[in-house]
Amino acid sequence: MILSRSTEYAIRLIFYLSDRQPMSQYVRIRDVAEDLEVSYYQLAKVANILITNEILKSNTGPTGGIDLCDHANSLPLSIVLEVFGDQDIFDRCILGLHECSNENPCPIHSVWGNIRGELKSTFFDKTLGELKQDALLPVFKKSG
């Protein structure tokens, strides 16, 4: 896909934490990284950015970790695109070509054009809570 790795990790992290709700307990980033099979260090950086942008909350100590902020279910996924600088993914060529346009299309330009609107609607119009309610979130195994 044309998402940055940080955006991909952030979305996967948010979905993972959303799947844990309504549990009101923090989860360690190391456990999440293991469950998602991603780099702990990269996931920790992503989590810190999401905490700074008040999408996640954190707690220290033996029962500490991260969780979604209380208002996260009312946020659209596009907030993650904005935080990590990928807000223009729906305006770019899916193959990353600079010269791709309707006049000079890449080999999959028309296919991308057809699904771009639906994906954009998912990111900008649906909240995390709606995606969860629609059962569009993946199921992740949980630590502990």
| Residue 140 clears pLDDT 70, i.e. is over it | no
Q: What are the residue boundaries of the structural domains of the chain, listed by start?
A: 5-133
Using a pLDDT cut of 90, give the percent of the chain over it: 48
pLDDT of residue 53: 96
Instruction: Find the mean pLDDT for residues 92-109.
Output: 87
Among 29, 19, 20, residue whose Cα is nearest residue 138: 19
27 to 63, 66, 116, 128: CA distances (angstroms): 8, 5, 34, 19
Query: Given a cut of 60, is residue 138 above it in pLDDT?
Result: no
Instruction: Report domain 5-133's class.
Output: mainly alpha
Q: How far is CA 41 from CA 28, 33, 35, 45, 48, in A?
A: 13, 9, 14, 6, 11
What pLDDT, on a 0 to 100 scale, did the predictor assign at position 25?
81
Confidence grade of residue 83 (pLDDT, cut at 50, 70, 90): very high
pTM for the predicted model, two decimal places: 0.82
Strand, helix or coil for residue 66: strand
Inform me whether the pLDDT recorded for 133 exceeds 90. no
pLDDT 10s digits, 28-50: 999 999 999 999 999 999 999 99
- Tokens 């702990």, residue located: 40
Q: Identify which of 5-9, 102-106, 119-123 has the greatest average pLDDT.
A: 5-9
DSSP string, 88-121: TGGGS-TT--TT-SSSS--TTHHHHHHHHHHHHH
Amino acid code (one letter) for 40: Y
